[in-house]
């Protein structure tokens, strides 16, 4: 059997009602030299039946024996992948039909030093399908320093050389949040990034009334920071992280703790204009807490 050029991996848990949409968006791709690996993280719902009902020989279904979390599910798919490139899609998001085609074409123009091609995406309301906003790609080449400051890449838009995971490692299951960010940052140590200046995916935002799970997010973010020493050793970069965590705590209903983080941030780098601009941007965002939560991936 010939190897597919791209291995698409969809990790899923208990979202049978959304999974079919994600799978359909892959099967409708104009570029068709791919395999689709659906990794079921021991879902208690009818996920097996949903996958079985789709008759397409490119689908490979893997079911984990016990619920192990998103990073383990993704890593399982990566280990089983046969393609030269890896594309990740969460079970509640979807791709536009030309997503793989334009990114493969971009890779054909690039040298081996480029490990990732990403693109733009729409934020879409799960409730009514309304487009809430969009994020355009903005950095390319050596993006390591930019990724130290912010996770500007949407996970449903990346096309990654499989060799990147051999060099940078797999997703870290010990992180309770920021697993995507950690992975992109580790890849950026070794490879350059490029992008297609197109909207290639829809990133769905769920509900507007759910509060932050800060017991999960903050420890994960702090572990992520401690893991990447280039963050903590630069006061300006570290102040960005502290202020963002502080504002998220405030928005999540813990203003006392949040203000302590913001205070530490200002004390660490009082003349960091970028920090104040980021604070204002987050504070003035009229979209919901759940919207920000989705952007920051802390529920992954």
Question: Is 166 exposed, middle or buried (CB count within 10 Å of its CB: 0-12, 13-18, 19+)?
Answer: exposed
User: Residue 176: what pLDDT?
Assistant: 87
Bridge partners, residue 246, by sequence: none
For residues 46-75, b (16+ Cβ closer than 10 Å) or e, as one string? ebeebbeeeeeeebbebebeeebbbbbbbb
> Do the bridges between strand 34-40 and strand 59-63 make them parallel or antiparallel, or are there none, so unpaired?
parallel
pLDDT in tens, 243-274: 888 878 877 777 788 788 888 888 887 776 66
Asked if residue 288 has pLDDT above 60, the reply is no
Closest Cα to residue 6, out of 33, 24, 42?
33
Average pLDDT over residues 81-89: 97
Average pLDDT over residues 128-156: 92
pLDDT level of residue 291 (50, 70, 90 thresholds): very low
| 8 A C-beta contact, residue 141 and residue 153 | no
pLDDT level of residue 4 (50, 70, 90 thresholds): very high
* pTM, to two decimals: 0.88
Greater pLDDT, 265 or 68 = 68
| 8 A C-beta contact, residue 43 and residue 13 | yes
User: Residue 208: what pLDDT?
Assistant: 38
User: Residue 285: what pLDDT?
Assistant: 52
Bridge partners, residue 59, by sequence: 36
């Amino acid at each position: 059997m010939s190897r597919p050029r791209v291995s698409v991996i969809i990790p899923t848990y208990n979202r049978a009602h959304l999974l079919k949409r994600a799978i359909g968006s892959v099967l409708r791709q104009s570029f068709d030299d791919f395999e689709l690996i659906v990794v079921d993280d021991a879902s208690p719902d009818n996920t097996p039946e949903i996958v079985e009902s789709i008759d397409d020989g490119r689908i490979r279904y893997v079911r984990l024996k016990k619920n192990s979390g998103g990073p383990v599910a993704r890593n399982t798919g990566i280990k089983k992948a046969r393609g030269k490139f890896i594309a990740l899609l969460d079970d509640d998001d979807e791709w536009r039909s030309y997503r793989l085609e334009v990114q493969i074409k971009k890779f054909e123009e690039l040298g081996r030093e480029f490990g990732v091609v990403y693109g733009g995406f729409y934020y879409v309301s799960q409730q009514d399908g309304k487009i809430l906003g969009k994020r355009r790609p903005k950095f390319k080449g050596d993006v390591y320093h930019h990724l130290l400051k912010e996770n500007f890449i949407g996970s449903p838009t990346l096309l990654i050389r499989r060799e990147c995971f051999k060099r940078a490692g797999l997703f870290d299951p010990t992180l309770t949040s920021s697993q995507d960010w950690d992975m992109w940052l580790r890849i950026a140590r070794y490879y350059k990034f490029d992008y297609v200046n197109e909207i290639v995916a829809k990133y769905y935002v769920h509900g507007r009334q759910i509060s932050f799970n800060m017991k999960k997010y903050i420890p994960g973010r702090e572990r992520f920071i401690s893991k990447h020493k280039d963050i903590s050793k630069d006061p300006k970069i570290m102040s960005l992280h502290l202020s963002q965590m502080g504002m998220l705590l405030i928005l999540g209903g813990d203003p006392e703790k949040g203000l302590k983080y913001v205070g530490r941030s200002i004390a660490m780098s009082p003349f960091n204009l970028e920090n104040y601009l980021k604070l204002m941007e987050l504070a003035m965002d009229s979209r919901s807490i759940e919207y920000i939560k989705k952007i920051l991936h802390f529920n992954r």
